Amino acid sequence: MSSDVRKSTDQLKRAKQKRRLQMSQETRRRRGIYNSFDVVSFAIFALILLVSVFLMSTASVNANPDHPYFYFWRHIQMILIGLAAFVFVMLFDYRRYKDWVDMAYIAVCVVLVITKLLGTGDGANRWILGFQPSEAAKVAMIVLFAAFLDKNRKQLKDPRFVLRCMVYMGVPAFLIFIEPDLGTSLVFFVVMMAMLYVAGANRRVLGATVAVVVSLIAIIFTVLYISTDGFDKALPDGYSFLVLQRYQLMRLAIFINPDMDALGSGYHIIQSKIAIGSGGLFGKGYLQGTQIQGRFLPEHQTDFIFSVLGEEFGFFITAAVLVLLMVFLLRLMNKAFFARDFYGTLIVVGIVTMMLFQVFENVGMAMGIMPVTGLPLPFFSYGGTSMLINMAAVGLVFSVALRGRKA
Amino acid sequence: MLKPKQPKGSTIAQGKINRRLLVIYFFIIALFVILVGRLFFMQVVQGKDYETLSDSNIYRTITLPARRGTIYDRNGNVLASSQPYMSVKVYLNEVEEEDREALAENLAALFGSDEIFEAEQAAREQMTQSSLDETIKETSRQVQQAKKDAEREAKEEEEELESDTTSSLTPTEKARLGSDAVTAKENDGEDTESESEAEEEEKSEEKTEEEDVNAAVGSLTANTKPTKEEVLDILKTGIGSYNAVTIRTYTYEVGVTIAEIVAENPDLYPGVYLSEEPMRSYPNGYYLGHVLGTVGKISDAQLEKMTTYGYKLSDIVGQSGLESYYEHYTDGGKVYSLSGQDGKRLVEVDAQSNILEVISEEAPVAGNSLELTIDLNTQEHMEDSLKRIVGEVEKEKGVGGSAVLIDVKTGGILAMASAPSIDPNDFAIGLTSEEIDYYFNDKLKPQMNRSITAGYPSGSTFKMVTATAILKAGVSPNDSVVCAEGSWAPPLAKCHWHGTTDFYHAVAGSCNIYFQKMAARIGEEALIEVGLQYGFGKKTGVDLPSEIAGLLPTPEWKSQNNTGWEKQWHVYDTYYMAMGQGATVDTVLQLASCAATIANHGVRLRPYVCQTIIDDDGNVLKTREPEVVDTIELDEDSWDTITEAMEGVVSDGGGTARNLFGSLSETLLPAGKTGTAQTGLPGDDPQHDEHGVFIGFAPADDPQVAFAGLIEYGGAGAKSAAYVCRDTFRAYFGYDVDYDIILMDDLFASESERNADSDAENEEEDEDESEEE
């Protein structure tokens, strides 16, 4: 008797489970999910986040002397909030964004204008209520631009259309540039070029654009060379060229020679290079980085988090983390091949190139092979908006992958 | 898994897109290869270089200043010692660039606040209590007045300047200017090496003086409240350096108060901290100031020389006197040093220079101490007397004087004075603008030790050299010369009537005719030989810096430094030399050494100041033994004759200084010789502008001490330098009980004597000569 009862309850349970499974399959269908979740990519992602938490535990100790683990706990909170955003964005069908394209474009521009007018921040208007709209605008514009290209796919070979694209991306990029935030507006440019390239836009126009930008950079550096006596003396106060202000030009100039303003603009880059270089093969050890823990390198929990890694953990572990990031980006890039539509492919390309540029710029800056722009290192740098948006962006790629063709 | 797989059933368009995706795909790999490559280059290839840079960030060497050795007199009285002071320092790399001005303002406000400023002034007053305040203020007033006058009369003077006399100086006149550089150039004596050295010394000294002014005005306490701009200027000297900048130095007590204020308001004073530092202190004020010397920040030239001995920028080193001579003294392969060896503490710091860990520590080694031959009591009395006599000289001309007392048995210097005085404390604390006016006064030259750095014609005191040479040449002391109106024909310098004069009376009455004629009889060669044996024309080798050699003219020197007729040695050159005039330039120390040599019957000992060098624990490292430099071979009878004649100078009825010691002559048995030397300086009146000179020793039967003194423009030696000698002997032999009363009597007596036409004064005038040649 008892065994029968047990049997029947087991059956009941199984049935319930089956129904639940069926329901989830229904849900999946409703949400357009055809592929299985990429566990390996998510595992790599989780490992990256764990490394970042570990790194923040040593970086935070001296960043806020009154509360040694302030940044550490906040970082974990951000990751948890980011994970929720990741799941939400992943489950949401990316194709439905197309419905709100026009409204969204206007909303992005309006928010950026408000940020410029009312925003707060140290020397720039970047913050609204503790949030950085420009970070969100990056990802939003990738989705919008992908939809824009998808909609006008047939005109891609028309040079005039390419110019239209530049205006489309240029408006929000300009609004960010005047915040001012040169780094983020550069991200817009790089992402746009990559997406146009993959979409198959007119190559001559693309080539010409690259040529114009390269010659502009050449002109700026020539002017800097003259104004700084061959990158020897700091620029005079109040100096500006075209739309660039003195501090922005100084960042470019010290990229060539940090010693020309060793205690001013060049200080960070010099100390960062010392931190990384002195790490050697095996690093100085957890909490043992003299540059970091002696506070010779300020901002090491945000823009210069990579220097913490290099100094305390040395070449092998740092290179391993870089390889981990590379594998992760390549796996995300993989999703572009199997996207269900052109739109999805472009979203993946946009997000991967955005992350690639930020990683290369941030790590390159810390090692002195890229100018200082103030871009955070995705997933590692402390910063709420950046973490939330980057995790949502990964969710977006997963969203495309879940609805993609079978591999 | 990493390799992209071609999806099934892809269209041609999809294929093209995939190709472009692949380009991005490999772009990712390429960028990461660049990053890892750069990482490898920095951490593996250049890792060691960056490690060095990292170390230079965190390791800092803190200097633990060594205590400078103490200087004692022969009885153990402290003459110079080091006291703890507090320096306000700023680590500029801890101060944000935009905060600098605010910091300067806060510091200026702190230094100028009533509490600190008044305490500072009180401490300063206490430190310089025994000092030259009155003299300095007076000089400063005069200098300021002179500046105004000069401006007013600038136009008038311009015309006169065109006929400036200095350019037309003869070598003789130049030699008499009292400057080492000039003398050294003129004197082509035996060792040119040491002379060029002397020149170098002089040059570096001049430089040092200039730098001293700057350093003193800059970083140490002064009697004015500092302005924000001044503080900012000092702050700015530290830009780009990891070392701290010293803003101001305070006495220990004031420093502690400041430290408390700074600790309470860390936001107002970023990067500010106080460090305890020993500073030189001279408890006896200006007494013996020239001999002790001064200390100051090391100059660039000094640093270049001394960097091999471990000296470093901003070290405090001896700049003159014993402080300089024994700063780093090598003897017999051993090094003795007043400054000692600074210790080091290697610490690990963070970016705000907080010390995280002490890694190693090397304790400082205190400097060696000196025990001098100086007798402080005698020194003080001699200096007071010198100052008084110099003060009596007519203000316009009288600028200074010098006196030296030597221990006859050893050559040790018992007292050495130079007027005007210097107070080494002023240099250690930092000079005020008034003090700068005083110490760097071109006319007064108070910083010059007139006993060894100034050259003078020694006048009739030099006749003792001539006297020795005469006896040595075999002339009988009974041989006499007639000194009367008719025998004064040129080129002989004129004299006063002495009648038939033998050796004894010639010395006692200082008869020009006797010595000129006798010198001509024995010839200049014999005279020069004895002069050299007495040590004239060369450095005595005393352990003090900046000694000059003086000049004992020889026929060779004359032919090299003159033209035409004057290239030859003429008989009047011998005449001049016999009386210590002409080109002869001597130092007061040389005269004192000469007096001691006479007292010692021809044995010349090297004069010295430092008797023993002892280490911090009181162990004797080095003791100086008397060193015989030269011996004048002369029979004992002749020495007795000379001594007897010199006794006659101060006790015989015909002596030039017969009333000098009064009844003391009988117990003290002093011997001496007066001199009244024409200055020979351009612009001076040869008839009336004369230095008063006196040499002497006592007691005559067993000489203990020998004296030489010179009062610039003092006139007759018996009425100027001789008084210093008498006061000094009194002090040394313990007759100074009623010192002050006697001084008052003397003052009165000397006044009345000067007014009344006494015999002595007439005899004094026989020093007068015409320079009509």
Q: What tens digit of pLDDT does each residue of B373-412 get?
A: 999 999 999 998 898 888 888 666 668 899 999 999 999 9
Provide the chain B residues 351-380 that lie in CB contact (below 8 A) with chain A.
Answer: 351-352, 356
Task: Tell me the shortest Cα–Cα distance from A310 to chain B, in angstroms.
Answer: 8
pLDDT bracket for residue A360 (50, 70, 90): very high
Classify B715 in phi/psi space as left (phi over 0), alpha (psi -120 to 50) or beta: left
* 8 Å CB contact of A327 and B2: yes
Rounded-to-integer distance, Cα A270 and Cα A273, Å: 5
Provide the chain B residues 238-277 that lie in CB contact (below 8 A) with chain A.
Answer: 240
Partner residue facing B29 (CB), from A310, A326, A345: A326
By the CB < 8 Å criterion, does B37 face chain A? no
By the CB < 8 Å criterion, does B348 face chain A? yes
Which of B18, B25, B32, B95 best probes binding to A when mutated, by most A CB atoms within 10 angstroms?
Answer: B32
As beta bridge partners, residue B245 has B90
Give Cβ neighbours of residue A10 (< 8 Å, ≥ 6 apart). none
Of B307, B426, B294, B312, nearest to B66 by C-alpha is: B312
* 8 Å CB contact of A325 and B2: no
Of B634, B652, B663, nearest to B735 by C-alpha is: B663
Q: CB atoms < 10 A from the CB of B635, how many?
A: 12
Q: What is the pLDDT of residue B207?
A: 41
Taking residues A86-114, what's their average pLDDT?
94
Rounded-to-integer distance, Cα B592 and Cα B405, Å: 7
Partner residue facing B20 (CB), from A197, A275, A298: A197
Contacts 24+ apart (CB under 8 A), B308-315: B309/B335, B310/B341, B310/B342, B312/B63, B314/B246, B315/B339, B315/B342
* 8 Å CB contact of A327 and B58: no
Q: What is the ipTM of this complex?
A: 0.93
Task: Tell me the shortest Cα–Cα distance from A193 to chain B, in angstroms.
Answer: 11
Whole-number Cα distances in Å, A159 to A50, A91, A208, A214, B485: 46, 37, 11, 20, 128
Rounded-to-integer distance, Cα A391 and Cα A370, Å: 25
Higher pLDDT, A316 or A266: A316
Strand, helix or coil for residue A297: coil
Residue B170 has pLDDT above 80, yes or no: no
Query: Of the ranges A245-254, B126-135, B329-338, B429-438, which one carries the lowest mean pLDDT score?
Result: B126-135
Residue B755 has pLDDT above 60, yes or no: no
Q: What is the pLDDT of residue B748?
A: 44
Rounded-to-integer distance, Cα B185 and Cα B188, Å: 7
Taking residues A59-79, what's their average pLDDT?
88
Percent of residues in chain A assigned helix, strand, coil, to nearest 5: 70, 0, 25
The number of C-beta contacts closer than 8 angstroms across A and B is 149
Q: What tens digit of pLDDT does each residue of B407-457 get?
A: 999 999 999 999 888 998 888 877 777 788 888 887 788 889 999 998 999
* 8 Å CB contact of A276 and B39: yes
Q: What tens digit of pLDDT does each residue of B230-269 get?
A: 888 888 777 766 667 778 878 888 888 888 888 888 788 8
Q: What is the pLDDT of residue B131?
A: 54
Task: Tell me the shortest Cα–Cα distance from B95 to chain A, in angstroms.
Answer: 11
Rounded-to-integer distance, Cα A318 and Cα B47, Å: 14
Task: Tell me the shortest Cα–Cα distance from B353 to chain A, in angstroms.
Answer: 9
Per-chain mean pLDDT for chain A: 90
Q: CB atoms < 10 A from the CB of B733, how many?
A: 17
DSSP assignment of A233-254 equals SPPPTT-EETTEEHHHHHHHHH
Q: Which residues of A136-157 are buried (b: 16+ CB within 10 A; e: fewer)?
A: bbbbbbbbbbbbbbbeeeebee
Residue A80 has pLDDT above 60, yes or no: yes
Looking at beta carbons, which residues of chain B come within 8 Å of A407?
Answer: 5, 7
